[in-house]
Each structure stands twice: as C-alpha cells, then as structure tokens.
Homo-oligomer: A and B are copies of this chain.
Amino acid sequence: MTPEQHFEALKTRFHEVALLQSAADALEWDERTGLPAKAGEYRAAQVTLLRGMIHQQRTAAAVGEHLEALRDSRLADDPTSDVGATIARLDEDYQRERKLPQDLVEALASATVLGQQKWDAARKADDYAAFQPALSEILSLKRQAAAHQQTDGQTLYDAMIHEFEPGARSADIAAVFADLRNQLVPLVESLQAAPRQPNTDLLRRDYPIDAQRAFSRFAAEAIGFDFQRGRLDITSHPFCTSLGPDDSRILTRYETNWFPGGLYGTMHEAGHGMYDQGLRTEWYGMPPGSYVSLGIHESQSRLWENLVGRSLPFWKFAFPHAQKAFPGALSDVSLDELHFAVNGVRPSLIRVEADEATYNLHVIIRFELEQQLVADELNVADLPDAWNEKYRQMLNVESPTFADGVLQDVHWSAGLFGYFPTYAIGNLCAAQLYDAAVRDLGDIETAMAAGDLSGLLGWLRKHIHRHGRVYDPNTLMQNATGQPVNSEALINSLKSRYEPLYGVGE
C-alpha cells in the first residue's frame, strides 16, 4: 500500500467512527430532552454498545498499522498541514486510547449514562445519598482509567485533565488560578462597596417562557448561530452537542422569574455551537475538523455570552427587541438600567448563573475538590461538607439544598473529572481573543450596536475555527493573539466594564 492508500483507509475508518459517535451522541441528546422515566436502563445499554464499538474501531490493530506506515512517510513531513496534523493527532490518540482495556471503556460508558440518570433523580429529590454510590463507582473507574493512561511526571488528575486540555498540568493551572484569584478578590470587594449598585430585581419580574424562547432564538440568530444547521431545545442542564457536520444542538433552560438564565444559557451554548459550525465539514470527525480543546471551546461560549452579550453595544441593538418581547417586564426600564442589571456582581450559589467576576471562584472550588477526590484525600461521603465549607470560605454563601449545592452540576455524574478548570481557561482566552479581534479589525462595536456581529464571527472563523486540531491550544492562542494565555485581558475587560457602571474610583 502507498502512504496515500494508508491515509484513505484511515479516513474511511474514522468516517465510520464519526457516524457511530454522532449516533451515540444523538441518543444522549435524546436522553436529556424528555426520555420516558422508565426508559433509562435500555438507553444506557444502547449507548454502551455503540461506545464499545467506537473504542474497538479507534484502537483496532489496523489503525496502528496504518499509522506505523504513515508516521515516517512524506505525508507526515509537515505537521501543520491538514494531512500531517491528522497523522500526528491520530497517532497521539491511538497511543493513549489503546492503553484502556475494552471492559473498562464499557463499564465507564454504562456507569456514566446511569450516573447521569441517578444525578438527575437525586437532584430533583434533593437527595445526595441517592447519588453517592453512583459517584463512588464513577470515580473509581475514572481513577483506574487514569492509572492506565498516566505518563511520566503526570499525576492521576493530570492524566484526567489531558483528555480535555491536551498537555495542561494541574500545577501550572493552580499557579494561573492563584494569580487570577489575587486580582479578582479586590475587584469584587471594590464592586461590593461601590457607590452605585444595579437593580437586579428587574431581572426577576415576569418573563413568560414562550417569549423567552423566542427572544433566545432571536439572540442566537443575531450573533450568528445557523438554524439551518442546528436547533435550540430545553433541558435541565444547558449543553451543546454536535450530531453531524450540519447538526449542532444547543439546549438551555428557562425560569419565568429569572431573565438571564435562559438568554445567557442560549448565548453561551450558541457560542459553542458556532465553533462547531465553523469547523471544516469536509474534515468532520478528523483532527482538522475537530475542536482543539475544551478551554478553547469554552472561550467561544464565554466570548459570546459575556464579552458580547453583556456589552453595551450588544444591548444598544438588542434592547428595543427585548422591550417588545417583554412589555410587562421592561416597559419602564431604560437601556442603561438593563445593561447595569445584567452586569450585577454578587457572590451566589449557582455556577452557571454566576457573574463573570465571581464565576472563576466557583471553578476554583471544583478544581480543588476534584483534585482531592482523585488523590483520595477526600471521601465521596464527605464531599457535601467540603463543598459547603469552600463556598463559605471563598464566596460567603451557603446552599440550603444539595440541589443548589453539590448536585448542581452534571459533570461528575458523567465522569467529567478535570473538566472544570477548562472553564476558567476559556474565560482567559475569550478576553484575549476579543482584544486581538479589535486590534485586527478596529472598531467593531459601532456595527455591533447596529445589529451586525458578523465581523467578530468572521475573525474567529479565520483564527480559531478553521484550524481545528492542526495546532495545539497554546500555539493557536499565540498565533491568534500574539501572546501566551494570561490573565491580563480578562482583568482589564472586567474593570473597564464594571468600574464605570459601579462608579468605582469616581
């Protein structure tokens, strides 16, 4: 076989893998949009079978043989070409995945599907004890998997992070987080003590769900989500999933008396969906058509949710539409009042509803707790107490329920340990990317205020989306922004938005 034939054989196989993968993802999407109460066990069996088949296909000996033949061939000469990067990334994936025994992969697939069902029921019943055995089981399986995949110098937790943020290490992340916290804490304190405070009560008025759905769809369309290639649905915990090159599904939840929940849930997930929609479809399921890391994925969602969605230019455009959609709630409200309200900073219980300033503290709490769980320094039974203690310390809030405390996030029930830190990395990258776009494009905010947000999306398509996994996340950020990932842009962005609103320093 020529190198070209080996490469074609790999492409054919990974096309089939992508079909199976997206089919399994479709079953999981369906599971979270209204699966009948008693259908969970069978659904778990369906997903388990498909995930097992996917793992077999990706780790088959034939894949190793093709990669062996390609590794030193001329096709691998340029690792920044689509073909060269494909060979390099698939080789890395293959080496890593074949370390996992098939039975462990299947056990994990089953435990995490059932775990999410247990979590959902436990959250509804506000009963941590009902979830605890499932969590213990998942944690134990994840530790076994990490032990198989751990490389020299990696902690077990580092091996888990690698799955989401290739090459990142917990010690480095801890250093960045310390830096971030050092700058955030005084900022939050100054805002809490500031002369002007937002009237966030107006966000708790009556916002009918049907109107929220229509307005959320309008906002997602306005920022560039393509509804010909995706849809928006309701679920209990917002997420985004790709069920094919032209099928991005975003999901949010609505509360009548909390306007930002549904809207920013939608804008956040639409940001993820627009990244997926910007990947090159002809490479779907292959490294050049895949996202590079969860941190970069999150940078796309946070950029549209916060840098755009909470900006004054966006609201100059969107406010008249909002007043029309919610005449009962917004007829006596001004643009400036609403803009200030959606930029309210207050330590709170729920991560996904937290403001930008305190959000990273929620992430740091989870980052610390899951490190302890994985290192066996914290028992699963003691997790709720540890959770509550950290929330008291860092945010000075206390949840009266498990549902709004330790059970608020789906992640651990889905086996996602090492995933939370990518949220803060996403915040850092979002601010850096926005600054770089403004540097390259000049004034984008005048057009934004007139409802044209295409410039920013075009810049992201060119500098982030179209590259897929061709470069590693650090190189991609360096190329796009001229800098390594750091906290300066985020802190500057928060200060420049908050300080005039709150009258800090006046």
Contact = CB atoms under 8 A, between A and B. Distances in A.
Interface string A239-279: 00001111110000000000000000000000000000000
A401 interface: no
Contacts of A27: 23, 26
A50 to B, nearest CB: 7
A259 to B, nearest CB: 23
A330 to B, nearest CB: 25
Contacts of A421: none
A246 B39 contact: yes
Nearest to A16: B49
Interface in A194-237: 227-231
Contacts of A248: 36
Interface stretch (A40-48, A91-99, A303-311): A40-48
A35 B247 CA distance: 8
A34 interface: yes
A327 to B, nearest CB: 21
Given A23-B27, A26-B30, A42 B231 contact: no
A19 B49 contact: yes
Interface in A25-75: 26-27, 29-30, 34-39, 41-43, 45-46, 49-50
A229 B23 contact: no
A41 B229 CA distance: 12
Contacts of A29: 30
A36 to B, nearest CB: 5
A388 interface: no
A37 B244 CA distance: 12
A49 B243 CA distance: 15
Interface in A372-399: none
A76 interface: no
A229 B40 CA distance: 10
Interface class of chain A by DSSP? helix
A350 interface: no
Interface string A403-440: 00000000000000000000000000000000000000
Nearest to A31: B26
Nearest to A244: B42
A39 B284 CA distance: 13
Nearest to A245: B42
Contacts of A39: 229, 243-244, 246-247
Contacts of A354: none
A491 interface: no
A81 interface: no
Contacts of A231: 34, 36
A244 B19 contact: no
A34 B217 CA distance: 15
Given A247-B42, A247-B43, A229 B36 contact: yes
Contacts of A192: none
B247 A37 contact: no
B42 A246 contact: yes
Contacts of A34: 231
A486 interface: no
A139 to B, nearest CB: 27
A36 B245 contact: no
A359 B36 CA distance: 33
Contacts of A45: 19
A228 B34 CA distance: 11
5 contacts: A23-B27, A36-B246, A38-B247, A41-B246, A46-B244
The 6 closest A-B pairs by CB, nearest first: A42-B244, A39-B247, A38-B246, A37-B228, A39-B246, A19-B49
Given A42-B247, A43-B244, A43-B247, 7 more contacts: A22-B46, A23-B50, A26-B27, A35-B247, A36-B229, A36-B231, A36-B247
